[in-house]
């Protein structure tokens, strides 16, 4: 479960350079809270383990969100994503867990996490999990959900 830190803590130089995986997701105040604007991230290096075989599963994560009061801090997000590297997880479970953890930390107006897993046994898997704040209506056009393989078939 992710930690619910609201703002990055001041860190010593040594701590600021840490690259250890962590389940703590940090946030910072949204500098444009007066409007809806889309924050888009592509994270092509997600790895977890198949819970049945122990073999690595690789995915590209695509995160789209509209912040409310807080935004995700990128380094802590990177270390959070990295923390799944040695864990067994079904694609559906890990995608929904990550979305829930991020929503818990920043309570966005909108958040969509798309996990495009690379081919395994001839099958590409794409999981899309979405959150919308109750009563919120988009002030901008949201990106369409696109289903495409994580990598081209060669």
pTM here is: 0.84
Q: What is the pLDDT of residue 68?
A: 97
Q: What is the pLDDT of residue 12?
A: 44
Asked if CATH classification 3.90.1170.30 holds for the domain at 43-132, the reply, yes or no, is no
Domain ranges, ordered by start, for the chain: 43-132
Q: Which of the 8 DSSP states describes residue 112?
A: E
What three-state secondary structure class fits 15?
helix
The Cα 75–Cα 18 span in angstroms is 10
List the one residue out of 23, 36, 33, 19 whose CA is nearest residue 100: 23
The Cα 20–Cα 83 span in angstroms is 8
Catalytic residues, by residue number, are 50, 57
Helices (H) and strands (E) in the chain, counts: 3, 6
Rg value, the chain, Cα:
16
Mean pLDDT by 10 residues, the chain (154 residues): 53 59 96 96 96 94 97 97 96 98 98 94 92 91 76 51
Cβ pair 85, 21 in contact under 8 A: yes
């Amino acid at each position: 479960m992710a930690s619910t830190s609201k703002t990055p803590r001041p860190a010593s130089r040594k701590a600021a350079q840490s690259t250890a995986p962590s389940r703590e997701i940090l946030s910072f105040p949204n500098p444009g809270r007066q409007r809806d604007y889309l924050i888009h991230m592509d994270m092509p290096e997600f790895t977890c383990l198949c819970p049945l075989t122990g073999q690595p599963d690789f995915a590209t994560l695509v995160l789209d969100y509209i912040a409310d009061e807080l935004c995700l801090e990128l380094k802590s997000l990177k270390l959070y994503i990295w923390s799944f590297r040695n864990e067994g997880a079904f694609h559906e479970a890990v995608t929904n867990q990550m979305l829930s953890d991020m929503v818990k930390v920043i309570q966005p107006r909108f958040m969509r996490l798309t996990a495009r897993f690379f081919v395994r046994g001839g099958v590409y898997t794409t999981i899309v999990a979405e959150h919308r704040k109750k009563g919120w209506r988009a002030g901008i056009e949201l990106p369409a959900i696109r289903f495409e393989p994580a990598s081209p078939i060669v």
